[in-house]
């Protein structure tokens, strides 16, 4: 689903483009319309699903498109750790770059200078404050935090916050907020204590469940960090060197499906293709050939990633990095069905590195990187932080306090 479906303000769309997001992830598709409609939500979504943007985007949109008081805090995002606070503030910086939303991250462990700056922002107002519970409580106790006009509260990684013993701090903060506000609660798991917290603070929430299953342990996963032109030679090499009897190759566009199938055939590899340009009859025919074992290599778009049951696929190749973690799990789940072991290779080009790092985050561990044969030439380094697709040239400085509404300069 394209982001244009949500009817976001143009200034926000520019930030989405600059962040390199093309399509909304499943959690974004489900959560964003409810937030835009002003509903409370309780969502179970893990890190790596795009959950941060799922709440930041509609929040930014609501803030910039509705009249709001810039001399107060409009939205409060409470998170368990300073690392997460910094990460969300940076994320926010990128997405709201053209929207002119003021924001600050408030977290423990900073020096005196940081405290003064936080105090200034919290007493003058900021559109969005991202904070850890203890530090925010400390500021509130000192009496200058402007919370009277607050409209939005987000609790992110709520289960982790409760595990870390922040329940009392969170309730202290909530007791200082206006009663009429929109509440968004995100949690990777939903134990009873989260349900209880939800009962206390949410009003008729929409419940959204996007838990993603992890791929079976027995799948051997490997990623190959390559440049785009090295992909086809690498497939050819892998198919020639290993004797996989059933291979399924996923490409993200029908053009690359067609091109790759052509190249495989040119190299005398028996391969066929499935994509949406083919009539249903033809697709079924190809699938039958493949299932019967007569066709060893099938190249397909995502049409095939979910739900179809083909046994004994030995190797899945992600010729392009799948759109999100869920797609990755579904795609590689085509192999290692039942008792069989399976192998899953993923090719990662420089512009896909960041997306792949998001998937690795979701899986909870890095995917081992395979060696690309030296005769294919020099390969890129795996450095996902540096590989932001469209905003490479733009220097997003983490902004502790800077905005269009307040007259004080940014730090």
- Determine the Cα–Cα distance for residues 72 and 345; give it in Å rounded to an integer: 50
Query: Is residue 400 a contact residue for ligand AMP (CB under 6 A)?
Result: no
Cβ neighbours around 375 below 10 Å, total: 7
For position 25 contacting ligand AMP by CB under 6 A, the verdict is: yes
Q: How many residues bind ligand AMP (CB under 6 A)?
A: 15
The neighbouring-strand residues paired with 76 are: 129, 153
Least distance CB 285 / ligand AMP (angstroms) = 35
CB 291 to ligand AMP: min, Å:
33
C-alpha–C-alpha distance, residues 3 and 282, integer Å: 33
Query: Measured from the CB of residue 80, what is the shortest distance to ligand AMP in angstroms?
Result: 14
- If binding is defined by CB under 6 A, does position 52 make contact with ligand AMP? yes
Asked if 26 is part of the footprint of ligand AMP (rule: CB under 6 A), the reply reads: no
String marking each residue 364-383 x if it binds ligand AMP according to CB under 6 A: --------------------
- With the CA atoms of 274, 276, 280 and 283 taken in that order, what torsion angle do they form, in degrees rounded to the nearest 10? 0
Contact 225, 356 (CB under 8 A): no
What is the closest distance, in whole angstroms, from the C-beta atom of residue 286 to ligand AMP in the complex? 30
Q: Which is nearer to ligand AMP, 124 or 161 (CB)?
A: 161
Nearby residues of 330 by Cβ (< 8 Å), 6 or more positions away: 305, 306
Q: Characterise 143 by phi-psi region: left (phi > 0), alpha (psi -120 to 50), beta (else).
A: left
Note whether 21 binds ligand AMP by CB under 6 A: yes
Contact call for residue 74 and ligand AMP (CB under 6 A):
no
Q: Considering only residues 358, 379, 401, 406, which one is a binding residue for ligand AMP as defined by CB under 6 A?
A: 358
Q: Which of 12, 24, 89, 332 binds ligand AMP (CB under 6 A)?
A: 24
**Interacting residues of 285 by C-beta distance below 8 A, sequence separation 6+:** none
Classify burial at 169, counting beta carbons within 10 Å of its beta carbon; exposed 0-12, middle 13-18, buried 19 or more.
Answer: buried
Strands 219-225 and 152-155: unpaired
Q: Which is nearer to ligand AMP, 165 or 366 (CB)?
A: 366
Q: Least Å distance between CB 49 and ligand AMP?
A: 5
Question: Residue 5 and residue 8: Cα distance in Å, rounded?
Answer: 8
Report DSSP state, residue 409: P
CA distances (Å), origin 21, targets 25, 40, 69, 97, 158: 9, 25, 30, 14, 26
Whole-number CA gyration radius for the chain: 24
Question: In this chain, which stretch among 23-31, 119-127, 146-154, 206-214 interacts with ligand AMP, using CB under 6 A?
Answer: 23-31
Identity of the residue, 169 or 320, whose beta carbon is nearer to ligand AMP in the bound complex: 320
Window 327-356: residues binding ligand AMP (CB under 6 A): 355
212 or 379: whose CB is closer to ligand AMP? 212
Give min distance, CB of 47 to ligand AMP, in A: 5
Among the listed residues 34, 51, 151, 334, the single contact to ligand AMP using CB under 6 A: 51
Minimum Å distance from CB 155 to ligand AMP?
Answer: 15
Selected binder of ligand AMP within 30, 44, 47, 72 (CB under 6 A): 47
Residue among 244 and 347 whose Cβ is closer to ligand AMP: 347
Interacting span for ligand AMP (CB under 6 A) from 20-28, 186-194, 286-294, 306-314 = 20-28
Identify the helix (H) or strand (E) that includes residue 79.
none
Backbone angles phi, psi at 352, to 5 degrees: -100, 0
Q: Does 92 bind ligand AMP (CB under 6 A)?
A: no
Q: How far is the CB of 41 from ligand AMP (least distance, A)?
A: 15
Cα–Cα–Cα angle for 41, 150, 183, nearest 5°?
Answer: 10
Provide, rounded to whole angstroms, the least separation between the CB of residue 51 and ligand AMP: 5
Q: Give dist(CA 227, CA 373) in Å, integer.
A: 13
C-beta closer to ligand AMP: residue 169 or 326 = 326
Q: For the chain, how many helices (H) and strands (E)?
A: 14, 13
Read out DSSP for 146-176?
Answer: --TT--EEEE-SHHHHHHTT-HHHHHHHHTT
- Listed ranges 22-30, 134-142, 178-186, 342-350: which one lies at the site for ligand AMP (CB under 6 A): 22-30
Which residue among 15, 50, 205, 350 contacts ligand AMP (CB under 6 A)? 50
Residues of the shown chain interacting with ligand AMP in the complex, contacts defined by CB under 6 A: 21, 23-25, 28, 47-53, 355, 358, 361
């Amino acid at each position: 689903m394209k982001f244009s479906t949500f009817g976001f303000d143009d200034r926000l769309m520019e930030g989405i483009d600059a962040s390199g997001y093309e399509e909304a992830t499943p959690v974004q598709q489900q959560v964003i319309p409810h937030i835009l409609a002003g509903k409370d939500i309780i969502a179970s979504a893990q890190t790596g699903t795009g959950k941060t943007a799922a709440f930041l985007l509609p929040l930014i949109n609501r803030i910039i498109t509705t009249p709001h008081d810039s001399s107060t805090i409009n939205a409060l995002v409470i998170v368990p750790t300073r690392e997460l606070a910094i990460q969300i503030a940076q994320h926010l910086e990128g997405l709201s770059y053209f929207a002119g939303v003021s924001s600050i991250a408030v977290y423990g462990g900073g020096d005196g200078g940081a405290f003064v700056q936080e105090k200034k922002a919290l007493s003058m107002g900021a559109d969005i404050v991202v904070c850890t519970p203890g530090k925010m409580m400390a500021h509130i106790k000192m009496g200058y935090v402007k919370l009277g006009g607050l409209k939005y509260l987000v609790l992110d990684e709520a289960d982790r916050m409760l595990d870390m013993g922040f329940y009392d701090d969170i309730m202290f903060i909530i007791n200082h907020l206006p009663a009429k506000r929109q509440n968004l609660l995100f949690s990777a798991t939903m134990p009873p204590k989260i349900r209880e917290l939800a009962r206390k603070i949410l009003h008729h929430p929409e419940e959204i469940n996007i838990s993603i299953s992890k791929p079976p342990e027995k799948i051997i996963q490997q990623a190959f960090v390559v440049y785009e032109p090295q992909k086809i030679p690498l497939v050819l090499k892998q198919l020639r060197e290993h004797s996989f009897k059933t291979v399924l190759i996923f490409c993200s566009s029908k053009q690359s499906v067609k091109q790759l199938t052509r190249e495989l055939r040119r190299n005398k590899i028996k391969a066929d293709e499935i994509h949406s340009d083919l009539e249903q009859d033809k697709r079924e025919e190809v699938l039958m050939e493949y299932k019967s074992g007569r066709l060893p290599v099938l190249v397909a778009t995502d049409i095939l990633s979910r739900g179809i049951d083909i046994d004994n696929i030995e190797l899945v190749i992600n010729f392009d990095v799948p759109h999100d973690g869920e797609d990755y799990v579904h795609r590689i789940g085509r192999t290692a069905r039942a008792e069989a072991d399976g192998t899953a290779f993923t090719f990662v080009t420089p512009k896909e590195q960041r997306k792949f790092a998001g998937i690795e985050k979701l899986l909870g561990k890095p995917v081992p990187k395979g060696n690309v044969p030296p005769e294919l030439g020099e390969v890129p380094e795996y450095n996902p932080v540096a590989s932001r697709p469209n905003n490479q040239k733009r220097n997003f400085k983490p902004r502790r306090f800077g905005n269009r509404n307040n007259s004080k300069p940014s730090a």
